[in-house]
């Protein structure tokens, strides 16, 4: 069910091109695959009102799901600005998680806490900008736990809804729940309802959701297969 925050952010995303949908001239992802969608949540950074709307959306999710938190953690680098706005609104400490430890100094993986003491059992909430397969989020959750953080929830602005993400999150023990403001299905439904895409494009985008890594090849956009997928 789309709430008011989701509806507003979908409309803004499409209006400012934070999300682009194009089945005729798809986008080449870093993976080497052509995809009919491109997400760039950094576009939200241009307006304070967008950043605050995202933070308010996260707060609503926290209330609805009884998420208690002592410290906010953002993923480096895309999650940091949104984690910062949320931490400011909640008047909470802010940390961020590197994709890998520094190669010098204290070799920190997490910034904002002393490397010697870590989180000391505090309740940590992880903020991502988007979730695709969930691999980077899982890595961040594990890093927080290794630093003695108590984490059971990860929030993101956007979620592609890939099965890999569900599998990755369900593999964590203890479990870490994942919540997103905008889900792919809601995005494309709103896009066709509001006239951003045609019905035929909507059907193609639904097809992509079922087989994202085969969609390009099936439509004549041959992938470079940088990840070696077959």
Query: How is the chain split into domains, by residue range?
Result: 4-218
Mean pLDDT of the chain: 92
153-188 residue pLDDT tens: 999 999 999 889 999 999 999 999 999 999 999 999
pLDDT of residue 103: 47
| pLDDT the model gives residue 229 | 43
Q: Distances from the Cα of 127 to the Cαs of 30, 62, 63, 81, 193, in angstroms?
A: 22, 12, 16, 10, 30
The fold of 4-218 is Rossmann fold (3.40.50)
Compute the distance between CA of residue 137 and CA of residue 135 in angstroms, rounded to an integer: 5
Pick the closest to residue 125 from 92, 76, 89, 88 (CA basis). Answer: 92
Cα-flanking dihedrals φ and ψ of residue 124, to 5°? Answer: -115, 140
pLDDT digits (tens, 9 = 90+) for 83-111: 999 999 999 999 999 987 754 444 579 99
Over the stretch 114-159, which tens digit does the pLDDT of each residue have?
A: 988 999 999 999 999 999 999 999 999 999 999 999 999 999 999 9
Given a contact cutoff of 8 angstroms between Cβ atoms, the answer to whether 86 and 61 are in contact is no
Instruction: Collect all residues with Cβ–Cβ distance below 8 Å to 210 and sequence separation of at least 6.
Output: none
Is residue 230's pLDDT more than 60? no
């Amino acid at each position: 069910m789309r709430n008011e925050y989701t509806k507003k952010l979908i409309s803004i995303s499409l209006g400012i091109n934070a999300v682009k949908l194009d089945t005729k001239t798809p986008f080449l992802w870093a993976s080497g695959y052509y995809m009919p969608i491109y997400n760039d949540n950094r576009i939200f950074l241009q307006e304070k009102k967008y950043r605050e709307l995202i933070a308010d959306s996260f707060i609503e999710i926290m209330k609805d799901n009884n998420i208690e938190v002592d410290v906010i953690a953002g993923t480096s680098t895309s999650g940091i600005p949104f984690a910062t706005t949320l931490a400011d609104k909640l008047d909470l400490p802010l940390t961020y998680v590197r994709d890998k430890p520094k190669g010098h100094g204290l070799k920190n993986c997490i910034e904002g806490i002393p490397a010697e003491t870590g989180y000391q059992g505090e309740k940590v909430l992880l903020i991502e900008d988007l979730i695709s397969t969930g691999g980077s989020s899982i890595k961040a959750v594990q890093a927080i736990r290794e630093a003695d953080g108590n984490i059971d929830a990860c929030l993101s602005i956007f979620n592609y809804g890939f099965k890999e993400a569900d599998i990755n999150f369900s593999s964590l023990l203890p479990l870490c729940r994942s919540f997103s403001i905008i889900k792919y299905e809601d995005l494309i439904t709103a896009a066709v309802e509001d006239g951003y895409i045609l019905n035929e494009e909507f059907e193609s985008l639904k097809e992509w959701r079922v087989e994202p890594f085969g969609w390009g090849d099936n439509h004549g956009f041959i992938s470079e297969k940088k990840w070696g997928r077959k």
